[in-house]
Structure 1
Amino acid sequence: MTYTAWDLHTPRLCLATSTDLVHWEKRGPPLFPDFMDVECTPEGRTQIRHGHTKSGAIFPERDADGKYIMIFGDAFLCVAESEDLIRWRARPFNHHFATGVHPWENRLLEPGPAPIKTRDGRWILVYNVATTGAPGYGGDQYSISQMLIDLDRVSEGPLARLERPSVIVSTQNERVGQVNQVVFCEGMVQFRGRWFLYYGQGDSELGVATADVQQ
């Protein structure tokens, strides 16, 4: 399990393991304490930041080179690789996986749940986005979208992504909360022929969105 540790100043991506999903062991210090990336501020400016890492989504299978791959970050989507799921090496920021291409994702991208494998062997990554402002979206508004990935060609970036977000701010508790204008996914499961996507609403409450499993 990847999780984010926060000391009230800098979030840092960490790792824990469990054999029963009840008792968890933290595995060492933060994964990438010296990572350097670029942040886009709500005002649309860019700035370099040090040691700021969040939200890792790990592919549950090895790639063609025998490595496990993680997509992480909350500005651009970056890449790390591992041989044992414990020790991870982040590729440099300038070798990032993806950044925003649509106006509604021009401030940040951040991975959500672990990628889901499709019938043809590709992968769907559900991810969070934020915008500095776009037609139909307020400044710093968050949405949830999806992209298609070839695990064996991660260095080439996404194969495709949705033209519009799959989940947007639409209810009062998403418009107003601890942080306004936010929907934010982190967990997804399949149960009895349906997908259940669990997401934060205004950083205050938890919602769920459902979709039928395609046969």
Structure 2
Amino acid sequence: MDELQMHRIGIIMRPEPGNEMEVEGVLNPAAIRGPDGDLYLFPRLVAKGNYSRIGIAKVIFDEKGEPVGIKRLGIVLEPEAEYEKRPEGGGCEDPRITYFEPIQQYIMTYTAFSSKGPRVALAISKDLLHWERLGLADFADYKLITFNDVYNKDACIFPRSMTSPHGDTSMVMLHRPLFPGTTPEDIMCDPQDRRIRDHHECIWISYSDLMLNGTKAEHLQEFESNSPLALPEAAWEKIKIGAGTPPVMSQHGWLMVYHGVHQTLPVNNEPHHLVYSAGLMILDKDHPDKIRYRSTSPVLKPELLEERVGIVQSVVFPTGIDRRDDLGTPNRFDIYYGMADNCIGVARLDIPDNITLF
């Protein structure tokens, strides 16, 4: 299983020449099937000054069912709420979208970038075109950690409700808090053999109590039972890991493609830099806080020129996933990912029947 690799299909979206809204890149899209069965991407569109909007585009397939391009359809979110704006601009960034079955609506998690820094925000929609903001995620405190004061991003929702550690029927979210002093840039200054501390550089799992809140949308952003899910382990993810694609059910459990960060060693007097790669994680189908499988090596790493050179060098950043039920191949997953923070690629991931689970 560790030899499993994604197979690149191609570059699906590049910045549109002359489009001021995309002058600093198109990247990190959500991917979701709409009510019409078509696949839609929700790319982050970056204008001058790192001003980010969330667009919508329809994916175009060839006669064999391979994704080959997109048709731009407009903008669905741009910085308007106070928690999305800052004096020099603002940001609605890096969306993930899930169809949440209990309320029969789509839920978008995205990074709202204000003067207070990045925070997780949520919005809901019935048709993918019109979105209602729910506000920032509101986290209960964890031990001595006041979560609402911590930078947070890379959030995604499971498509169905599950039972929390307290026995409540809940909506479940993965996210990546960034505690002070633990950004990749901070960690690059530390020794190579630095100890990974609990609660840092990792993916967290949190629960929103549906029994308490019902299915009223205004309460879905309230989360409790916060706890770390996974810490960095392998060399390719030593600095930090974060949630990538929203979890999708596979025959082995909840499948998620996540990102890991490591730093290169200086070569020929050139400074070291960060490298973002992708790995695979499978969570238990009934207990998502239990990891059943995890990559020991990347399933995708920066190799193409477009992945190595761009707005930020050496980045593959998975955020969108499409299980190819439409082709009758439920073990095939198309992964949409950001390439060096400048364009969007798509790669194919085939999951074998036999996997050794933990």
* Structure 2 runs not aligned, ≥5 long: 1-107, 143-147, 178-200, 266-271, 354-358
- SS state at 2:230 partner: coil
How many positions carry a matched residue from both structures? 197
* Structure 1 runs not aligned, ≥5 long: 37-48
2:237 to 85, 90, 105: 105
1:31 to 116, 132, 137: 137
- The aligned counterpart of 1:171 is 304
Is 1:79 aligned with 2:205?
yes
- The aligned counterpart of 2:153 is 54
1:96 to 228, 232, 236: 228
Superimposed CA distance per residue, residues 13-52 of structure 1 (whole angstroms, 9 cap, x where no aligned partner): 1000001011111112x1147878xxxxxxxxxxxx9420
Superimposed CA distance per residue, residues 55-106 of structure 1 (whole angstroms, 9 cap, x where no aligned partner): 11211122244222111115310111112471331444xx311111101111
Is 1:202 aligned with 2:340?
yes
- The aligned counterpart of 2:55 is none
TM-score normalized with structure 2 length:
0.50
Ranked by relative contact order (alpha carbons within 8 Å, sequence separation 6 or more), the top structure is: 2
TM-score normalized with structure 1 length:
0.80
- The aligned counterpart of 1:130 is 261
Of structures 1 and 2, the larger Rg is shown by 2
CA RMSD in angstroms, aligned pairs only: 2.7
Q: Which has the higher strand share?
A: 2
Kept in 2: contact 1:35–1:51 (CA 8 A): no
Counterpart-to-counterpart distance in 2, 1:179 and 1:35: 34
**Pair 104,9 (structure 1): closer, same or farther in 2 beyond 3 Å:** farther
Counterpart-to-counterpart distance in 1, 2:264 and 2:205: 27
**Pair 99,62 (structure 1): closer, same or farther in 2 beyond 3 Å:** same
Counterpart-to-counterpart distance in 2, 1:164 and 1:149: 18
Percent of matched pairs sharing the same residue? 28
Counterpart-to-counterpart distance in 1, 2:285 and 2:306: 36
- The aligned counterpart of 1:40 is none
